Chain A
Amino acid sequence: MSSKESIANFLKQCERVLHVSRKPGRSEYINVAKVTGIGIILIGVVGFIISIIAQLLTT
């Protein structure tokens, strides 16, 4: 296969992929947002508490 053909072939593949790609549904989106949001806040709060304690101890 020439490189021109293989590029054309690849672009066709990309088109096919975009054709079968699916947007997240509303409930799925909200679920992922909730889970990751809570996770980030949870981890961040642990870090926040430790950094505040450290700042208070050093001043």
Chain B
Amino acid sequence: MLKEMLQPIFSLIPQVKSPTYRVPFKEKLKWTGIILILYFLLGQITLFGLSTNAVDYFGQLRAVMAGNFGSIITLGIGPIVSASIILQLLVGGKIWRLDLSRPEDKAVFQGTQKVLAIIFTLFEAIVLVLTGALSPSSPELTWILVLQITIGGILIIFMDEVVSKWGFGSGVGLFIAAGVAQQIIVGSLNVLSSPTSPGVPAGAIPHFIYSLTSGSPNFDLLIPVLAVVVVFLVVVYAESMRVEIPLSYGGVKGARGKYPLKFIYASNMPVILTSALLLNVQLFANLFQKLGHPILGTISNGRAINGVAYFLSTPSTYTVIFTDPLKVLIYAVVFIGSCILFAWLWVELSGIGPKQVSKQLYDMGMQIPGFRSSRAQFEKIMSRYIPAITVLGGAFVGLLAFGADLTGALGGGTGVLLTVGIVYRLYEEIAQEQLMDMHPMLRKFLGNE
């Protein structure tokens, strides 16, 4: 049995201790804050021995993967999400049969994800260094560079675990939000100048003011900042859209109830997974080119110029629509299609499918008047709505992310989209926790003891 074979491997890998008690609000806040600051500090540690002319091959996707190019955490959450994709396809596709509602199977799932994430970290580090995306300043530093990137990647894996067990939300979400929020604020407010143009402030707003004082106002500088605001306002709207499922059934009088579900039902997870998938396409295109068989397309100067890799690289400005509409169309279809697929897998695996939701409603003591077996009835209603919401929500969030990228917003359109969702969910969790800390009775009632 595969499960038994994996057990000794899991026991070799250190684990973050699980809390044996309900972690109080303040403690959760403390851990989340510590990891957040640690993440920012790691982002400032530059790789030793990195050639100064290294170009970022995955600039557009980097923000979504919470990596900071040229730092020890260049990989960000890429390896964790890549590992998660493989497992979701295996388990969601019923190739590997695991029942995630059982704790021991869930432990196997999480253990395997961690092992895979470590393997991906090493693999991505080697590929990036050997293909020249992160070239060393001298050949003897090659493996020192790989080692540093791997250490950074493994640190991220453990920091993610700390947040998941002791903090709010997940580390993956926190790091994405942190990276994007930092890019937005630094990109718009930085008063220091970049090394390439000394004397000129690097941030968009100070740069604009500088251009005003020099007599030639350059309004183009403000476009990325405005794009952030526009994407933000649209995504907030989409995030707060609800679907209210009527719980009455079969025309029973007085049996009126509504159960609200988010329209973006699988949250923004499909976008994160799709972005990681696209990043892997670029990574493998690089690898195959280096091996002398550019079957996924040719990459030159860090940009895919033809083949599959070209069609699946993110269009980062709207001008591409005019220069190469076919590419934009193919990209959009693949991106949205993949979002639908991952939305469906995510709903299956994270316990928010029709069956589980009906069980939850039933366990909460909800009844449909006039029906003796409410649970079966709930299931009937939910299975009429949830599959459709999953697909529509997945397609919608994919379309939004695709559109947002075309605006060229600071932090990337997709990055802003994800960050809004992550921060909102973080707020919901914090608000709920705080409520429960204040009212122990409520906690008992909700069965969260």
A32 and B185 alpha carbons, distance in the complex (Å): 20
Least CB distance from B239 to A in Å reads 6
A13, A18, A47, A56: which contacts B186 (Cβ < 8 A)? A47
Please give, as numbers and ranges, the residues of chain A lying within 8 Å of B384 by CB-CB distance. Answer: 13, 16
Q: Does any Cβ of A come within 8 Å of B426's Cβ?
A: yes
**A39 contact from B189, B192, B388, B427, Cβ within 8 A:** B427
Q: B427 near A35 (CB under 8 angstroms)? A: yes
B260 and chain A: residue at smallest CB distance = A22
Residues of chain B with a CB closer than 8 A to A10's CB: 387-388, 391
B312–chain A nearest beta-carbon distance, Å: 27
Point out which of A41, A44, A54 has the most chain B C-beta atoms below 10 A from its C-beta: A44
Most buried by B among A10, A14, A37, A40: A40
B181 within 8 A of A: yes
Q: A40 contacts which chain B residues (CB < 8 A)? A: 177, 180-181, 184, 232, 419-420, 423
Contacts A21-B263, A36-B420: A43 and B244 contacting too (C-beta < 8 A)? no
Which residue of chain A has the shortest Cβ distance to B383 in the bound complex?
A13
Contacts of B389 in A (CB 8 A): 17
B192 engages A47 (CB within 8 Å): no
Decide if B241 touches A46 in the complex (CB within 8 Å): no
Interface 0/1 of B180-216, CB less than 8 Å to A = 1110111001101000000000000000000000000
* Smallest beta-carbon distance B211→chain A, Å: 22
Using Cβ atoms and an 8 Å threshold, which residues of chain A touch B178? 43, 47
Q: Mark A1-45, 1 if CB is under 8 A from B, else 0.
A: 000000000100110111011111000110011011101110111
What is the number of residues of chain A that contact chain B, defined by CB distance less than 8 Å? 33
Contact between B233 and A33, CB atoms less than 8 A apart: yes
User: Known contacts A40-B423, A41-B181, A50-B40; is A21 also within 8 Å of B241 by CB?
Assistant: yes
Selected contact of B242 from candidates A21, A44, A56, CB within 8 Å: A21
B37 in the interface (beta carbon within 8 A): yes
Shortest C-beta distance, A34 to chain B (Å), equals 9
In this complex, the member of B40, B185, B242, B391 whose beta carbon has the largest number of chain A beta carbons within 10 angstroms is B185
Verify B241–A24 contact, CB threshold 8 A: yes
Minimal beta-carbon separation of A12 from chain B (angstroms)? 9
In the bound complex, what is the Cα–Cα distance between A35 and B185 (angstroms)?
A: 17
A15 nearest CB neighbor, chain B only: B388
Alpha-carbon separation in the docked complex, A41 to B260 (Å): 29
| Cα distance A44–B420 in the bound complex, in angstroms | 13
What CA separation (Å) do A21 and B182 show in the bound complex? 34
Q: Is A48 touching B189 in the complex (CB atoms < 8 A)?
A: yes
Is the CB–CB distance between A52 and B388 below 8 Å?
A: no
Contact B241 A23 (CB under 8 A): yes
Residue pair B182, A22 in contact (C-beta under 8 Å): no
Chain A residues proximal to chain B, CB less than 8 Å: 10, 13-14, 16-18, 20-24, 28-29, 32-33, 35-37, 39-41, 43-48, 50-52, 54-56
Binding site for A on B (CB under 8 A): 36-37, 40-41, 43-44, 177-182, 184-186, 189-190, 192, 232-233, 236-237, 239-246, 260, 263, 384-385, 387-389, 391-392, 419-420, 423-424, 426-427
